[in-house]
Amino acid sequence: MRLPCPICGERDLREFSYLGDAVRLHRPAPDAGTDAWDAYLHLRDNPAGRTRDLWQHEAGCGAWIVVTRDTVSHAVEGAQLAAEMRDAD
């Protein structure tokens, strides 16, 4: 698997570290309540198919990116900078 960093271009998987589902971009308010925090921290759609997850180009430019890819075929559709994606959502 090679991931397309929006800044550096397509790079080897080994340059990236993985955080998980992009749900992590949407941190609830501190007083949002147990359900919201549980959903944010623990519960996952865990899709077999298209997913969006957070990776950091750790051994490259250091950017956090959101990769759209398929969990069954490992095909990678594309990636965006996490900061841009969060602001757009």
Interaction residues for another protein, span 2-61 (CB under 8 A):
12-14, 18-21, 34-35, 38-39, 41-48, 51, 53, 55
Helix (H) / strand (E) element for 86: namely helix 82-88
Q: Which is nearer to another protein, 46 or 87 (CB)?
A: 46
* Least spacing, CB of residue 2 vs Zn ion, in Å: 12
Q: Which does 81 bind (CB under 5 to 8 A by kind): another protein, Zn ion, none?
A: none
* Least spacing, CB of residue 17 vs Zn ion, in Å: 12
On the 0-12 / 13-18 / 19+ scale of CB atoms within 10 A, 4 is middle
* Least spacing, CB of residue 9 vs another protein, in Å: 18
Cα–Cα distances (Å) from 85 to 35, 67, 72, in that order, read 24, 11, 24
Q: How far apart are CA 5 and CA 40, in angstroms?
A: 25
